[in-house]
Chain A
Amino acid sequence: MPKEKFEILETACVPLPLENVDTDQIIPARFLSATSRDGFGDNLFRDWRYLKSGEKNPDFVLNNPKFGGKVLVTGKNFGSGSSREHAVWAIYDYGFRAVVSSFFADIFKNNSLNNGLLPIIISEDLLKKLHSQIQSDPSTKVRIDLEKQTLTIISTGDSVKFEINSYKKECLLKGLDDIDFLLTMKDQIKEYENNKSMVK
Chain B
Amino acid sequence: MEAKTLFDKIWDGHVVRSIKDGPDVIYIDRHYIHEVTSPQAFNGLKQRGIPVFRPKNTIATADHNIPTKNQHLTIHDELSRNQVERLAENCKTHGIEYFGLNHSKNGIVHVIGPELGYTQPGMTIVCGDSHTSTHGAFGTIAFGIGTSEVEMVLATQCILQPKPKKMKITINGKLGKGVTSKDIILYIISEISTGGGTGYFVEFAGSAITSLTMEARMTICNMSIEMGARGGLIAPDETTFEYLRKVPSIHGVNDFDKALSEWKKLKSDEGAVFDKELFFDAASIKPMITYGTNPGMGMAVDDSIPQSDTKGGSSSESFLKSLNYMGFKPGMKLMGQPVDYVFIGSCTNGRIEDFRAFAHLIKGRKKADNVTALIVPGSKLVEDLMKKEGLIKVYEDAGFEVRQPGCSSCLAMNEDKIPAGKYAVSTSNRNFEGRQGPGARTLLASPLTAAAAAVTGKITDPRELLNN
Contact = CB atoms under 8 A, between A and B. Distances in A.
B211 interface: no
Interface string B372-393: 0000000000000000000000
B97 interface: no
A29 B13 CA distance: 36
A1 to B, nearest CB: 7
Contacts of A183: 50, 155-156
A78 B233 CA distance: 24
Interface string A13-51: 000011110101100111011111100000000010000
Of listed A18, A25, A80, residue having the most chain B CB within 10 A:
A80
Contact of A200 (B12, B16, B77, B82): B12
B262 interface: yes
Contacts of A25: 432-434
Given A80-B228, A200-B9, A33 B413 contact: yes
Contacts of A33: 36, 65, 77, 79-80, 82-83, 413
Interface string B250-266: 00000000000010011
Interface stretch (B158-166, B212-220, B273-281): B158-166
B315 to A, nearest CB: 6
Nearest to B417: A30
A106 B130 CA distance: 10
B166 to A, nearest CB: 14
A37 B130 CA distance: 19
B412 A29 contact: yes
A176 to B, nearest CB: 12
B195 A47 contact: no
A104 B146 CA distance: 15
Nearest to B132: A83
B253 to A, nearest CB: 12
Contacts of B435: 24, 29
A124 to B, nearest CB: 10
Contact of B158 (A28, A114, A185): A185
Interface stretch (A60-68, A92-100, A162-170): A162-170
Of listed B228, B265, B317, residue having the most chain A CB within 10 A:
B228
B156 A186 contact: yes
Interface string B391-410: 00000000000000000000
Contacts of B439: 52
A200 B145 CA distance: 24
B63 interface: no
A199 B50 contact: no
Interface string B1-36: 000000001101101110111110101000000001
A182 to B, nearest CB: 4
A165 B162 contact: yes
A189 B16 CA distance: 7
Contact of B44 (A84, A179, A200): A179
A76 B198 CA distance: 11
B197 to A, nearest CB: 9
Contact of B27 (A81, A167, A196): A196
Contact of B432 (A22, A37, A198): A22
A106 B148 CA distance: 15
Interface in B124-171: 128-130, 132, 143-149, 151-152, 155-158, 160-162, 164
A6 interface: no
B146 A110 contact: yes
A19 B228 CA distance: 13
14 contacts: A20-B194, A24-B430, A32-B36, A47-B433, A47-B434, A77-B198, A77-B228, A83-B130, A105-B228, A107-B143, A178-B148, A179-B152, A188-B16, A198-B10
Given A188-B16, A196-B27, 16 more contacts: A18-B318, A18-B321, A25-B433, A33-B82, A35-B40, A85-B37, A85-B40, A85-B148, A107-B130, A107-B143, A107-B145, A167-B23, A179-B148, A185-B158, A189-B53, A199-B12
Interface of B: 9-10, 12-13, 15-17, 19-23, 25, 27, 36-37, 39-40, 43-44, 47-48, 50, 53, 64-65, 77, 79-80, 82-83, 86, 122-123, 128-130, 132, 143-149, 151-152, 155-158, 160-162, 164, 194-195, 198-199, 228, 230, 262, 265-266, 294, 296, 312, 314-315, 317-318, 321, 411-413, 420, 430, 432-435, 438-439
